[in-house]
Structure 1
């Protein structure tokens, strides 16, 4: 409604400014066309701003979705490691139960079993530490990748802002 009133005021003020022999807007169509063109430009600028805002919101939503996916993948990996560790502990418990039965083993078998258990335990611990280091490395890599992407987006936004501030008349010869 405000738009209609504003346009009506513009038409009325145009009619008042026209010479006395002009009895309608048709006598000066150029002025009317330039007003319409300016109105269309304003509308286009509004649409561009809306589009830019929606694109930014979409990018932000996609970024949050990717973060959630990464977080879920890390949690799944952590759960898998926990399950593996639990199975290893159960196997070790069963082995210890067999070792503790005096009727089924002699001294040499017990010493061999203990040595094998120690080797197995050390191997499992090293493997577990290796898996933890892989997860930590993956998390660090993701963090640094996200930080680099953030800096690139920031840099691109600042570059675009700089180009807008310089205006269309500035044409750089060569960007290095």
Structure 2
């Protein structure tokens, strides 16, 4: 089963390597990982989509990650009310005849055309993973020349927001 895990970490060199190393050592398969700075300098947020076989495995992963010195907070947010998005850049083969068809496919997905050349068109689309997959499936018959995806990034909706204030760091450990 796929689980969405977020980790609030100190923004320091080597943190990503230590966290992914721990997951590799414990043989967790990472479907996707995103990392970026937060609203607080010195703090980053990691979002992992991992495949696990049991609830026990995900609990073990959270415990192990919480033991890491640079990790402030870890949460499995899979079953909670979340906002989650992914970004994909898709370069599709096109010519004058197919270009308008491809633009027509992009419109209902609220995707943006970000580059056009004689032989290709590049589309940017954001949304949940199912939306991205659906768009890719519709564009595949035209010939996908290049595809790049960010992986899922997520956090809790509204007032469920997790504490990421540096001043709270000592209270969370």
For the aligned pair, the TM-score class normalised by the smaller chain equals under 0.3
- Rg (Cα) greater in structure: 1
Give the strand-richer structure, 1 or 2: 2
Taking structure 2 as the reference length, what is the TM-score of the superposition?
0.21
Give the helix-richer structure, 1 or 2: 1
